[in-house]
């Protein structure tokens, strides 16, 4: 009986440590680490990182295009007579 109490206490300590160490959303109802939830969370994080990277690339591309257009429209008129 004493051995069972020790095992139960150890399990409770393990669960407590897991709750402190891991995001509570990654633990199942018994407080055990759920690898499927972890995979889903990692997939969502990667998808967010990819979307953020794409957004930044789009912003950079738009800024470069705007700069090129600005340079194109602000080119000084050159007197053609001087060239010949």
Q: Which single residue is written with the structure tokens 């060239």?
A: 83
Q: Tell me the C-alpha distance between 25 and 36, whole Å.
A: 11
pLDDT value at residue 83: 56
Please say if the pLDDT value at position 34 is more than 60: yes
Give the CA-trace dihedral at 37, 40, 46, 52, to 10 degrees: -100
pLDDT value at residue 20: 74
Bigger pLDDT: 75 or 6?
Answer: 6
Please say if the pLDDT value at position 78 is more than 70: no
pLDDT value at residue 50: 98
Asked whether the whole model's pTM tops 0.75, one would answer no
Please say if the pLDDT value at position 74 is more than 80: no
Q: Tell me the C-alpha distance between 57 and 80, whole Å.
A: 40
């Amino acid at each position: 009986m004493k051995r069972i109490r020790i095992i139960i206490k150890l399990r409770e300590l393990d669960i407590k440590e897991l709750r402190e160490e891991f995001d509570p959303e990654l633990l199942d109802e018994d407080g055990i680490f759920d690898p499927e939830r972890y995979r889903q969370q990692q997939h969502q994080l990667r998808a967010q990182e990819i979307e953020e990277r794409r957004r930044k690339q789009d912003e950079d591309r738009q800024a470069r295009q705007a700069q090129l257009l600005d340079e194109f429209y602000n080119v000084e008129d050159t007197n053609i007579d001087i060239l010949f």
